[in-house]
Chains A and B, each alone.
Chain A
Amino acid sequence: MKTITFITLFIIASFNAMAENTAIKQLIREYQLDTKSAGSAEKGRLLWNKKFTGKPPFTERSCQTCHNSNLKQQGQHIRTKKTIEALAPSVNPKSLSDLKKIKKWLKRNCKWTIGRECTADEKNHLLTFLKQQ
């Protein structure tokens, strides 16, 4: 009987752990399988802050151009001035909670900011960094 209770509890606990596995964790796992390496929050932070050159009128571009340099605060779309909700999951639980959306925005925003799609390594680092915010 004890064993059954233990197994049941274990299964429930695993389910809970799975439910907690938000989209971002799932995606990180995907990239880790792809790249066969763990993401580095530090490398993610450096990429997040790195400045790139783009076409005028926005010649200097970085993630912070539209997302606030303080990730816990709202950002603003540089061109349309529309408010962008804070990206840090600690203050905005909706942020980074939809797998499809994360992929879409990584693709679009890497292209705009860096001028090309990000590699799986870069995305792995970026998400590892963002998850901790």
Chain B
Amino acid sequence: MNKSVIITAITLLVSVITIPAVFSDDDRDEYRQRSLGVAAVISEPYTNECSSCHMAYPPGLLPAGSWQKIMSGLDSHFGDNAELDSESLKLISEFLISNSADNSSYRRSRKIIRGLNTKDAPIRISELPYIKREHHEIPDKMIKYNPEVNSLSNCSACHAEAKKGLFDEHSVRIPGYGHWDD
């Protein structure tokens, strides 16, 4: 064994031990968010107007075209009337579009976009190919027929940190079933 191999090995070992210490908690949170979630952006008008009936879905879960479609049909919003005054409509549309999945560099947003054709603009997050793929192993009894969940669209029922844009498995707790592991 020559000297250089030993030196390389020691250097590597030291790096592995010290590198994590270089990152602060903030860096780690940022890394977790970027690699495991979608951007945690907040808009007061959006939360105020949209979270009365459902979770304020992070805009990075749908492409801009989808948000445009949704915002132009609020008088019949998945069967409900969710009309807005023109000022709120404009503010919220701008917020959703500028933070949409195709305008985001976060990993899950990228994956959502990769699963779609350029012109696709689905209006249901629950019907995105990526979202369907990620949930296909979970039996209906845990979502659809689980009275505390009711639908795949009820993200925050199981994803405890959904409001913060985090969807990794660590934070999944299915009501009545607990932690989910692949």
Chain A residues near B (Cβ < 8 Å): 55, 58, 77, 79-82, 84, 104, 107-109, 111-112
Contact = CB atoms under 8 A, between A and B. Distances in A.
Interface size class of B (residues with CB under 8 A): 10 to 19
A125 to B, nearest CB: 21
A55 B79 CA distance: 9
- Would you call the interface of chain B mostly helix, strand, loop, or mixed? loop
A82 B81 contact: no
A80 B156 CA distance: 11
Closest 7 CB pairs of A and B: A111-B81, A108-B81, A80-B54, A81-B150, A112-B81, A77-B53, A80-B53
Nearest to A108: B81
Contacts of B153: 80
Which of B79, B85, B150 has the most C-beta atoms of chain A within 10 angstroms of its own C-beta? B79
Nearest to A109: B81
A79 B53 CA distance: 9
Interface string B42-55: 00000000001111
B9 to A, nearest CB: 57
A95 to B, nearest CB: 13
B27 interface: no
23 contacts: A55-B79, A77-B53, A77-B54, A79-B78, A79-B79, A79-B80, A80-B54, A80-B150, A80-B151, A80-B153, A80-B154, A81-B154, A82-B53, A82-B55, A84-B52, A107-B81, A107-B83, A108-B82, A108-B83, A109-B81, A111-B75, A112-B80, A112-B81
A104 B75 CA distance: 12
Contacts of A81: 150, 154
B85 to A, nearest CB: 8
Nearest to B55: A82
Given A79-B78, A104-B85, 20 more contacts: A55-B79, A79-B53, A79-B79, A79-B80, A80-B53, A80-B54, A80-B150, A80-B151, A80-B153, A81-B154, A82-B53, A82-B54, A84-B52, A107-B83, A108-B80, A108-B81, A109-B81, A111-B75, A111-B81, A112-B80
